[in-house]
Amino acid sequence: MDLKTLIRDVPNFPKEGIIFKDITTLLKNPDGLADALKELYNLAKDKSVDKVVGIESRGFILGGALAEKLGVGFVPIRKPGKLPAETLSETYSLEYGTDTIEIHKDAISPGEKVLLHDDLLATGGTMKAASNLVEKLGGKVVQISFIIELDFLNGRDLLKDYDVHSLIHYSAE
Ligand code: AMP
């Protein structure tokens, strides 16, 4: 199945000039959902993953399903102030300003093999910050997976130390 045909482009969302890649049209399609999950599972199944870490909020959907399929636990990385127990934070730069993400301090044990998942790789800043959080807790990032990668933003360059996979690529805007 060509998963790309199930992605909807929404121009000028959330702001002027951005073409938002909407995965809800893939998620609502039962074959698309099953195929995407199967592909992510096949990429990860031999990596001896101990935990899947998903990034708020679209990274929770297939990240959670993938964790269950791999038979491992799921850990959320969230926006500030959302996680109830003690957290570790990482702040990273955006085009204008900064953003912060958080993880529970006891979410990962030292030495655990972690798969990081999000819906989309753009500049890579979010995922780089997420990998920093996992590594600060002593986790080892064994794979990073995305549904979509915007190749023309070169986010992969920030993640060059990792095994990075995306199911769908866009080579130009
Ligand atoms: P970045 O840190 O630049 O790689 O941005 C990745 C995060 O922003 C992901 O959590 C995406 O969900 C979101 N994102 C960035 N650009 C887009 C886009 N064009 N369409 C949908 N989501 C996007």
**pLDDT value of residue 45:** 98
**Whether the model pTM is above 0.85:** yes
> Which percentage of the chain shows pLDDT scores above 70?
100
**Which amino acids bring their CB within 6 angstroms of ligand 1?**
18-21, 55, 58, 118-126, 155
**pLDDT value of residue 95:** 77
46-170: in CATH 3.40.50.2020: yes
Residue nearest to atom 3 of ligand 1 (CA): 123
> Please, are residues 40 and 117 in contact by the beta-carbon 8 Å criterion?
yes
| CA–CA gap between residue 137 and residue 53 (Å, rounded) | 13
In this prediction, the residues of the chain whose per-residue pLDDT falls under 50 are: none
**Distance of CA 118 from the midpoint of ligand 1 (Å):** 9
**pLDDT value of residue 173:** 78
**pLDDT value of residue 128:** 98
| CA–CA gap between residue 41 and residue 150 (Å, rounded) | 21
**Distance of CA 20 from the midpoint of ligand 1 (Å):** 8
For the chain, what are the domain ranges? 46-170
**pLDDT value of residue 35:** 98
